[in-house]
Amino acid sequence: MTEPPVLVSCHDGIVRLTLNRPERRNALDPALAAALAAAIDDASGDPATRAIVLTGAGSAFCAGALLDGLLDASEQGDASAVAVSFGAVEDVYRALLAARPPTIAAVNGYALAGGAGIATLCDFAVMSDRAQLGYPEVQLGLAPGMVMAILFRQVGYRVALELVLTGRRIAADEAARIGLVNEVVQHGALDARVAELAAQLAALSPAALALTKRWARALGEPDLATRIGQGRDVSTLAALTPDARAGVRTFLDRSKA
């Protein structure tokens, strides 16, 4: 029997969502992205849910969008299909933005591109000391449009621009220093620390948490959902260029070697 793309467990009002495609480093193909967005919506809509934890199976948190289908659509010049590919990731972002309970990213391994966006968009992020974050899209001829809408709000213009233009990966200690994650823990202590934080949040008033979250989002960026949608359009335009096709093809060939 094929395992579901997202594993869902619930204990004491804490819903844990595990991206379950470890053989692909939990890259967000349309099926996984749709399942994750639906799971977030379902958990958020359940009044019994007090906190939502997101993590990845295996050695990665999430390696961003799966690029195979994106390359096919780009080579055919099919802008609508490219937009659909990015739209699947956008749906996950929108589900996180709309989530009523606090969301916690347990960053257990690589969080790259759209996966880094998920970690950044969660209300809290706790990172393993073995994990890395990065926005490598430009290295492939792509543009991290949706991620930029989140990242620039989180760490400021100069730091964010340096990260997206170089595409370099950053270690956990730097991610904490620049404000991308709340804290770093030893790899073996990650689950226990996240469980502790989730339990602390679950003990508080759900109504107070939801109202405070909503106001914090409005103060931070009133039009973040709009900006993410505009970022999808920027990413689509970049993905249709010859540079993007060459970069993605080289990456895929190297991955299969």
Active-site positions read 137
CA dist 238 and 140 (Å) reads 10
DSSP E strands: which ranges in 108-187?
Answer: 110-112, 124-128, 132-134, 169-171, 183-185
Sheet-wide strand order for 60-62: 60-62, 110-112, 132-134, 169-171
Query: How, if at all, do strands 60-62 and 124-128 pair?
Result: unpaired
CA dist 236 and 87 (Å) reads 10
Phi and psi of 69, rounded to 5°?
-65, -35
CA dist 10 and 49 (Å) reads 8
